[in-house]
Amino acid sequence: MAHEQPRRDVDIFWDLGSCPVPTNTSGFTVVSQIRTLALRLGIVKSFKAYLSISDQDSNDQALTPRSELQSSGMSLTDVKQEIADMLIVDMLVHAFDRNSQNDSSIIMLIAGDPRFSYLLSILRKRNYRVVVLGPGGGQDDYLNKSASLASQANSWLDWNTEIMDSIRAEIPRSATAGANSASQTTENLDLTPDTGSERTSETKEKRAGAIDKDTSDRMQPGRDHNTEVNSSVEVVIEHFDERPDVGIVQRQKSPIIGLKSLNNWVKSVLIIRFAYPALQKSSVSSDERGRRGGGRGKVLDMGCGKGGDLVKWSKARIKELLCVEFAAVSVEQARSRYQSMDPSSFEASFASLDYYTEPLAKAFSPEKLSTPFDVVSMQFRMQYAFETLEKTRTMLGNVSRYLRPGGVFVGTIPDADLLMQELDALPPDTDDLSFGNNVYQIRFEQREPRPVFGHKYWLSLQDAVEDVPEYVVHWDNFVECV
């Protein structure tokens, strides 16, 4: 007798920003249609939706479907920042908590944002079956940006065909005119599991604009590149202080939004896999302080920038966060971003300090530093310290002096092996020691020597940094310094 194959668990994540409930349509009806579709795949174990607070109006017409969604048996989360940032972190937490290894779980993502593409490829590597329900025509629909999402899903279902057509009588004709009704399946859900190899999307996001091919010869006004600056950090501080905080809407239009999303994903994984276990063993908890949230753990974000990781730490349910950055304007922008968040999530303190040359005690009071940190995070900042041995020692001293025994130090640095590989690939007779593409340019000043400290290059990254000095960080040397 043939044994019936057990039904898979289905967990639904819905981005209401890219797949909203249409005007004059019942929220109950839309949720019912989604559940009916999901039940064809398996047993619905969880249903979560995310709605941007900035997208909500105070009028009754806008509040009615929101109330209906809350009453329909699903979980609705209000998001003050970008929906994708929170949704990506929640999906990662879900994936690592479940740790699917038996091809029994399905994740259904309802979204049209291409920034989820890389996350989907990672979920598939972990044996999750990924179903995307989104607007547009899947892999062939480049105008609606659904191609990259469809290429990373096991199955692509069209939002207009599967959901909107079923309730078309309730939707004004103008809302559905011209909708593409294609529904494409890239892989049957009943086939054997993925082998783990990452599938490359046939299309990549077109990047607007280009960096001048002569970037290596371009000079910043008032800067003499033939004269050694007193401190490369001063140049970086000047650059970061001059860059405005453009806000969520403008960041979405960035030509390197895909790269920024990848960086955020990498940092989220570092937090989930390495920082979170250390936080759970912390002695710093809400019970001890009795003021904010229900979090646990104390974190030092050394190089906090404009506060881009605040949401990530909030999702990690920490108790206390100390943020320090060498660029004073960035610190104020980070403080402002924190003040716009839920005040009950965690405590935070902000300070400006050159942590490559000065001790952390100059930025925070003894009371703030009396309890050691469970986690120290340093994202895309360590390379500036390797200008000199002294700066490197000061930076690492600020980490080790205040990190508890058993604590975790997480961070990211440029890949020195790849930098050297690209430098060695340049023609031996060329004087132009630069390489890159229309998005980034890297220029070295010389081939040899290659010192352990002070091996400088200049980096330009579209819509991020322009001709900023950085230093090669060789991993073996970093470990030896630690």
The enclosing domain of 255 has a CATH number of 3.40.50.150
Residue type, 465: V
**Domain end position, chosen among 151, 176, 201:** 176
| Inside any domain, residue 114 | yes
pLDDT of residue 323: 97
User: Sign of dihedral through CA atoms 133, 136, 141, 143?
Assistant: negative
Lowest mean pLDDT among 229-243, 282-296, 306-320, 388-402: 229-243
What integer best gives the mean pLDDT of the chain? Answer: 77
User: Does residue 91 sit in the same domain as residue 233?
Assistant: no
Angle among Cα 117, 204, 418 to the nearest 5 degrees reads: 90
Contact present, 308 and 243 (Cβ < 8 Å): no
| Inside any domain, residue 207 | no
**Domain end position, chosen among 113, 147, 176:** 176
Nearest to 22 by CA among 142, 214, 174: 174
**Domain end position, chosen among 119, 146, 176:** 176
Alpha helix segments (H runs only) across 111-189: 117-125, 147-151, 159, 173-176
Across 351-368, average pLDDT: 95
How do residues 256-308 score in pLDDT, each as one tens digit? 888 888 888 889 889 988 999 999 999 998 654 444 556 899 999 999 999 98
Residue type, 120: L
Q: DSSP characters for 266-280?
A: HHHHHIIIIIHHHHH
User: Does residue 146 sit in the same domain as residue 240?
Assistant: no
Lowest mean pLDDT among 244-248, 272-276, 391-395: 244-248
φ, ψ for residue 59, nearest 5 deg = -80, 160
pLDDT of residue 259: 83
C-alpha distances in Å from residue 182, one per residue of 39, 57, 133, 134, 156: 21, 32, 12, 11, 10
Chain-centroid distance, C-alpha 218: 31
Across 70-89, average pLDDT: 82
| Inside any domain, residue 161 | yes
Nearest to 112 by CA among 138, 86, 92: 138
User: Mapping DSSP to helix (H, G, I), strand (E, B) and coil, where does residue 56 land?
Assistant: coil
Across 111-124, average pLDDT: 88
| Inside any domain, residue 399 | yes
Contact present, 18 and 60 (Cβ < 8 Å): no
User: Mapping DSSP to helix (H, G, I), strand (E, B) and coil, where does residue 211 land?
Assistant: coil
pLDDT of residue 35: 87
pLDDT of residue 322: 98
User: Does residue 242 sit in the same domain as residue 137?
Assistant: no
- pTM over cut 0.85: no
Across 443-463, average pLDDT: 93
What burial letters (b/e) apply to 427-450, b meaning 16+ CB within 10 Å? eeeeeebbbbeebbbbbbeeeeee
| Inside any domain, residue 199 | no
Alpha helix segments (H runs only) across 403-445: 416-424
User: Does residue 151 sit in the same domain as residue 99?
Assistant: yes
User: Does residue 237 sit in the same domain as residue 369?
Assistant: yes
| Inside any domain, residue 86 | yes
Contact present, 207 and 439 (Cβ < 8 Å): yes
User: Does residue 147 sit in the same domain as residue 230?
Assistant: no
CA separation for the pair 443, 423 (Å, rounded): 9
User: Does residue 172 sit in the same domain as residue 220?
Assistant: no
Non-local CB neighbours of 162 within 8 Å, separated by 6+ positions? 33, 37, 133, 183
Is residue 65 predicted with pLDDT exceeding 80?
A: no
pLDDT of residue 82: 79
How do residues 134-159 score in pLDDT, each as one tens digit? 887 545 444 456 677 888 888 888 88
Long-range contacts of 279-285 (CB under 8 A, 24+ apart): 279/316, 279/317, 279/318, 279/374, 279/375, 281/374, 281/406, 282/319, 282/374, 283/371, 284/319, 284/320, 284/371, 284/374, 285/319
Non-local CB neighbours of 414 within 8 Å, separated by 6+ positions? 383, 470, 472, 473
Contact present, 156 and 138 (Cβ < 8 Å): yes
Is residue 482 predicted with pLDDT exceeding 80?
A: yes
User: Does residue 156 sit in the same domain as residue 247?
Assistant: no
User: Does residue 303 sit in the same domain as residue 371?
Assistant: yes
User: Does residue 170 sit in the same domain as residue 219?
Assistant: no
Residue-number span of the structural domain to which 351 is assigned: 215-415+474-481
Contact present, 350 and 335 (Cβ < 8 Å): yes
pLDDT of residue 218: 30
Structural domains in the chain (count) = 2
| Inside any domain, residue 423 | no
| Inside any domain, residue 440 | no
Helix (H) or strand (E) segment spanning residue 9: strand 8-15
Is residue 198 predicted with pLDDT exceeding 60?
A: no
User: Does residue 288 sit in the same domain as residue 405?
Assistant: yes
We report the CATH number of the domain holding residue 40 as: 3.40.50.1010
How do residues 172-187 score in pLDDT, each as one tens digit? 333 333 333 333 333 3
User: Does residue 122 sit in the same domain as residue 264?
Assistant: no
